[in-house]
Chains A and B, each alone.
Chain A
Amino acid sequence: KQEVTQIPAALSVPEGENLVLNCSFTDSAIYNLQWFRQDPGKGLTSLLLIQSSQREQTSGRLNASLDKSSGRSTLYIAASQPGDSATYLCAVFGNAGNMLTFGGGTRLMVKP
C-alpha cells in the first residue's frame, strides 16, 4: 500500500528565506504527484501537478521536482512571504487503486 510522508511536519522561517518542503512515497509506480496548499479551515488549492514523465514544474515562486525512482518530491518556495503561511500537502496518484494518497502535510509559518 502506498505511503506518503512529509518532513518536516512544521516549519517556521523568517520572511525572505528560500525553503524546501519534502515529500517521499513508498511505491514508485505513480502516474502523477500534486502539491496542494490549505489555509486554516479551508479547502485545498492545487499548486502544481507533475506527471510521472516530468522532472519538475514551476509556477511563479514555486518549483516542484520529482524523482520517481527514489520516491521523492520537493517543493521549493523562493523568497518566502507571510502570505505563504499555510499547510502544504503532497499527494500521489498511483496505479494501485487509481486513487490519490496524501501525505500528512507540512505546516509552514513565515514570520515578518
Chain B
Amino acid sequence: DVKVTQSSRYLVKRTGEKVFLECVQDMDHENMFWYRQDPGLGLRLIYFSYDVKMKEKGDIPEGYSVSREKKERFSLILESASTNQTSMYLCASSLLGEIYGYTFGSGTRLTVV
C-alpha cells in the first residue's frame, strides 16, 4: 500500500516562528500536494508539485512556501507563523495522470499561539 507520512501529528508554535511541515511518500509518486482544512471552509489547496524542484501555487499560497528537493519529500514552510495559520494540514500524493486517485497522510494539527 502507498504510504504518505507526515512527520508530526500535533505541533504548537509561537507567532513569528519559522515552521517546517514534512511529508514523505514511499511509492514513487510524481505529484504531491499540501492542503489545509478548516471548519466551514473544507479542504483548500496551498501548493502542489509534479516533479522535483517544481512547484505550483494552489488556491491559498499566501504566507506559505514549499520545497521539493527529492521526489519522495515535499515540505511546507511557514516563513513567519501567524495565528490564522492554525489549522489541520494534509499532505497527499498521486501518480501523474488523470486516472489515478490521491493518497493522503494522517494530517498535522498545527496550533500557532
Contact = CB atoms under 8 A, between A and B. Distances in A.
Interface in B55-107: 58, 88, 90, 92, 98-99, 101-107
B109 A46 contact: no
B42 A105 contact: yes
A100 B102 contact: yes
Classify the secondary structure of B's interface with A.
strand
A99 B98 contact: no
Interface residues of A, number: 23
Contacts of B98: 31-32, 93, 95, 98
A103 B2 CA distance: 24
Interface string A46-76: 1001010000000000000000000000000
Contact of B43 (A32, A49, A93, A102): A102
A105 B45 CA distance: 16
B101 A49 contact: yes
B49 to A, nearest CB: 12
Contact of A34 (B42, B58, B101): B101
B48 interface: yes
A100 B43 CA distance: 10
Nearest to A6: B42
A42 B108 CA distance: 9
Interface of B: 6, 33, 42-43, 45, 48, 58, 88, 90, 92, 98-99, 101-107, 109
Given A32-B101, A43-B106, 17 more contacts: A31-B98, A32-B98, A32-B99, A34-B102, A41-B88, A42-B106, A44-B104, A46-B103, A49-B101, A89-B43, A93-B98, A95-B98, A98-B98, A99-B45, A99-B58, A102-B42, A102-B43
